[in-house]
Amino acid sequence: MDPLAEHPKQIGSSPYIYVANNPINLIDPTGMIWERPEDKRRLESDIKSKIKSKIKSHEGEIANLTESLTKETKEKKINSINSQINDYKERIGLLNQSLNDVEMLDQDSRSYFLEDLPENATNAFVHADGGNIYIQGTNTSEHLHEIRHIGQFLENGRQLSTIPKDGFNRLKNPGKTLEQATFNEVQAYQIQAAYGGNGSVGMQNVNFIKDIDAAKINRNKRHSDGTAMYKFIEDYLKGQKK
């Protein structure tokens, strides 16, 4: 049975509404919904296909770099090549995580929306209104950053948790400790860089995925008054120094 058969928007509607009234060209294997068909299409035909293309490209780069290693390769060059290979492997892992995150949203019973922010926006987040979940971002890489935070709840079987702030019910960081919360934020920025490139995270001296860490986020992500954008990361780093 379709798990959303009794969803308020299904009752009394066309029996084909589950596929946007287009059962010839569209399918709905899980019975779950993205509230707007264009958001679903954007994830399926745009984001997913680009992620898979990036993964294939990185796999090709790894193969080329591996092939370039010979017995005559100097140690310094070997270290450089291995660093590049490890970086591509990390990117592939993060991109696969993004694919898993999108799948988890597909399986969830809530209604999801993608919200496009203007390019000059400095703070994207996820917020909830009843059963509707709004995922903000100025571009796809930021959307995937925020989707990762949703995935961090769903992959552990936890309900999404929000907190009122500035007129929104904003998604909390899923971490139960400062260390977990910091890891979650670092991972989300790494997801963002894996899809959008190193420059997409707005941090200096990011050459490899591993360069994105708590200290770099704390140093680069500041409000206009100089205070930390992620107070929990700053507190975590202070605790590490003790």
Q: In terms of pLDDT, which residue wins out, 16 or 72?
A: 72
The string of pLDDT tens digits covering residues 186-209 is: 999 999 999 999 999 999 999 999
Q: Which of 137, 113, 141, 139 minimizes the C-alpha distance to 125?
A: 137
Confidence at residue 13, expressed as pLDDT on a 0 to 100 scale: 53
Out of 7-16, 137-146, 161-170, which region has the weakest mean confidence (pLDDT)?
7-16
Return the pLDDT at 108.
Answer: 82
- 22-67 per-position pLDDT tens digit: 666 656 655 555 556 677 777 766 788 899 999 999 999 999 999 9
**Rounded CA gap, 18 and 21, in Å?**
7
Select the more confidently predicted residue: 17 or 164: 164
pLDDT, tens digit, 9 for 90 and up, residues 112-159? 888 999 988 888 999 998 888 999 999 999 999 999 999 999 998 888
**Per-residue pLDDT at 3 exceeds 70:** no
Confidence (pLDDT) at 11? 44
Average pLDDT, whole number, for the chain?
A: 87
- Span of 3-7, 25-29, 81-85, 128-132 with lowest mean pLDDT: 3-7
Q: Determine the pLDDT at residue 10.
A: 44
pLDDT value of residue 100: 93
Query: What are the φ/ψ torsions at residue 90 (nearest 5 degrees)?
Result: -65, -40
Is pTM beyond 0.85? Reply is no
Alpha-carbon gap, residue 86 to 176, rounded angstroms:
30
CA distance 107 to 116: 23
Residue 157: partners with Cβ closer than 8 Å, 6 or more residues away: none
